[in-house]
A and B are shown apart, each in its own frame.
Chain A
Amino acid sequence: MFDFLEGYDLLGAFWVTVKLTIFSAIGSLVLGTVLAAMRVSPVPLMRTFGMVYVNVVRNIPLTVIIVFSSLGLADVFGMTLGAADDFEVKYFRLAVFGLAAYTAAFVCEAVRSGINTVPVGQAEAARAIGLSFTQVLSHVVLPQAFRSVVGPLTNVLIALTKNTTVAAAIGVAEAALVMKEMIENEAQLVLISAIFAFGFVVLTLPTGLILGWVGKRVAVKR
């Protein structure tokens, strides 16, 4: 029943999925946090930029963003992210770029909701002892904010894991692309789909369980 699996590098494909997820998660966490800081900053221009970015990027389908990274940014404007002649690396980086840019909008909103859970008194007290806006944010508000948004961020991370399959649209050799190849060759649609669905459950279920436990541990008891 499973003898057709020979000749396919399933583990390698899922490893690419994992790599895509990790790099995009780091990128989106950094960018999303910066965006959240912009959205609560005292500078109107920054606030506007953060708001526009989130509302625009959040409402564009991910497929459009990824395909545009490849066809628009790379083919038309020649943005190759330092890998002009190595397609495998180039498209992987473009996919990470697209996924991180897209996921950042969701991370930003999650972090901002966390900032709103921090009592105003905390920020006022921090201001009162003479900390600047950046210091208030980095020393007082954000550490507490992050502790309360582990749950929402876990949801974003699980969504991101599954969203990496969109990278197949620009030829990154992750799980969804190998699945397409197998269906093309083996004519076993249902079985192959089930195998890959299971593969993603193996990736996301532990993520959810572990981070759920972490979230409970670090939550601020108010």
Chain B
Amino acid sequence: MKLRKVTAASATVLALALSATACGSDSGKESGSGDGGDKITIGIKYDQPGLGLKTPDGFTGFDVDVATYVAKELGYAEDDIEFKETKSADRETALARGDVDFIAATYSITDERKQKVDFAGPYLLAHQDLLIRADDNVSKGDDLNGKKLCSVTGSTSAQNVKAKFAPDAQLQQVGTYSECLNGLQSGAVDALTTDDSILAGYASQEQYKGKFKLAGLKLSNENYGIGVKKGDKEMVDKINAALEKMVQDKSWDKAVKDNFGPANYKNEPAPKIGNIVK
């Protein structure tokens, strides 16, 4: 008897919940109100402070600023932009399937990726670097082989350490850079290594201010580009024009200052479109 009551009650709740969602789920699908009111979907990272971060009050970061500027140049108001998370492994698939119109998510231009997608840009030249404790020092030419380094599992930076810079170094690989910072604070590792732009973003966070700094080693060249579906030449040209304009009217410099502020980060001057530094 009792069981039957519970079942009936939960069925009622379920039915209510379903009808409630049914009412609320067909919003946001209204067609454009004429003046270029279509939506544009842009792939970004959600978990990289300084580049692409989802916060309770919206999205912040350099990639987000660049994406917003480019979308504006393409004729989309800020309300018409829909940001979508594209994790590193999903980026090519998301473009090929048309889930997103373009991707600005720390997307380094490489020959392998060029076979799958087209790139506009580059819009930022980053280098692999080390983030160290503020009272520590590592200078150019120091041997990294005796160091304990930390990076994200499977990332290009982690592979570079193993294959190029310091094959004998102790390398801890974890899921997210935040986990590395934990070990860096406690002294379990000496340095966190990845692109300096990403490191600067982490070091600029409120809770880490003044604790870490960049070593400034320039271990590699990472040319961040904007990924576009393969063969969409028109889109690439439009985005390139937008990026050029962004550099000219100084919005680019402002975006760099806003996002990579206080971490001893010396950014490279804005790269020339189509000029990929190997």
Spell out A's residues near B (CB within 8 Å).
4, 67, 70-71, 74-76, 85-88, 91, 168-171, 177-181, 183-187, 189-190
Please name 12 pairs of A and B residues whose Cβ atoms are closer than 8 Å in the assembled complex, sorted by A.
A67-B179, A70-B174, A75-B186, A86-B170, A168-B153, A170-B173, A170-B174, A171-B172, A180-B153, A184-B89, A185-B110, A187-B117
Q: Which of B145-180 contact A (CB under 8 A)?
A: 148, 153-156, 158-159, 170-175, 179
User: How far, in Å, is A163 (CB) from chain B's closest CB?
Assistant: 16
Judging by beta carbons under 8 Å apart, are B186 and A185 in contact? no
Judging by beta carbons under 8 Å apart, are B159 and A181 in contact? yes
Judging by beta carbons under 8 Å apart, are A177 and B159 in contact? no
Judging by beta carbons under 8 Å apart, are A91 and B172 in contact? yes
Mark contacts of B81-110 with chain A using CB atoms, 8 A cut-off: 1 yes-contact digit, 0 otherwise.
Answer: 000000011101100000000000000001
A75 contact set on B, CB distance < 8 A: 182-183, 186, 188
Judging by beta carbons under 8 Å apart, are B153 and A171 in contact? yes
Residue B112 CB within 8 A of the other chain: yes
Spell out B's residues near A (CB within 8 Å).
88-90, 92-93, 110, 112-113, 115-117, 148, 153-156, 158-159, 170-175, 179, 182-183, 186, 188
B153 contact set on A, CB distance < 8 A: 168-169, 171, 177, 180
Per the bound structure, the CA–CA distance linking A67 and B170 in Å amounts to 18
Per the bound structure, the CA–CA distance linking A183 and B115 in Å amounts to 14
A189 contact set on B, CB distance < 8 A: 89-90, 92-93
User: How far, in Å, is A7 (CB) from chain B's closest CB?
Assistant: 9
User: How far, in Å, is A128 (CB) from chain B's closest CB?
Assistant: 44
Interface of A is mostly: helix
Per the bound structure, the CA–CA distance linking A164 and B112 in Å amounts to 29
User: How far, in Å, is B88 (CB) from chain A's closest CB?
Assistant: 6
Residue of B nearest to A171 (CB): B173
Known: A75-B183, A180-B89, A181-B154. A187 touches B115 (CB 8 A): yes
Judging by beta carbons under 8 Å apart, are B171 and A171 in contact? yes
Residue of B nearest to A91 (CB): B172
Judging by beta carbons under 8 Å apart, are B148 and A87 in contact? yes
Residue among B154, B175, B188 making CB contact with A183, cutoff 8 Å: B154
Per the bound structure, the CA–CA distance linking A113 and B159 in Å amounts to 46
Per the bound structure, the CA–CA distance linking A23 and B117 in Å amounts to 43
A70 contact set on B, CB distance < 8 A: 172, 174
Judging by beta carbons under 8 Å apart, are B113 and A187 in contact? yes
Residue of B nearest to A72 (CB): B182
User: How far, in Å, is B114 (CB) from chain A's closest CB?
Assistant: 9
Known: A75-B188, A189-B89. A169 touches B174 (CB 8 A): yes
Residue among A71, A183, A187 making CB contact with B182, cutoff 8 Å: A71
User: How far, in Å, is B48 (CB) from chain A's closest CB?
Assistant: 15
A171 contact set on B, CB distance < 8 A: 153, 171-174
- In the complex, given contacts A75-B186, A171-B172, what are 18 additional A-B residue pairs having Cβ atoms less than 8 angstroms apart? A67-B174, A67-B179, A70-B172, A70-B174, A71-B174, A75-B182, A76-B186, A91-B172, A168-B173, A171-B153, A171-B174, A178-B154, A183-B154, A184-B154, A185-B110, A185-B159, A187-B112, A187-B115
- Indicate the member of B93, B112, B148, B172 with the most A CB atoms within 10 Å: B172
Residue of B nearest to A169 (CB): B175
User: How far, in Å, is A85 (CB) from chain B's closest CB?
Assistant: 7
Judging by beta carbons under 8 Å apart, are A87 and B154 in contact? no
B110 contact set on A, CB distance < 8 A: 185
Known: A71-B182, A169-B153, A177-B153. A184 touches B173 (CB 8 A): no
Judging by beta carbons under 8 Å apart, are A87 and B159 in contact? no
Judging by beta carbons under 8 Å apart, are B174 and A185 in contact? no
Known: A71-B182, A180-B89. A185 touches B170 (CB 8 A): no
Per the bound structure, the CA–CA distance linking A3 and B59 in Å amounts to 40
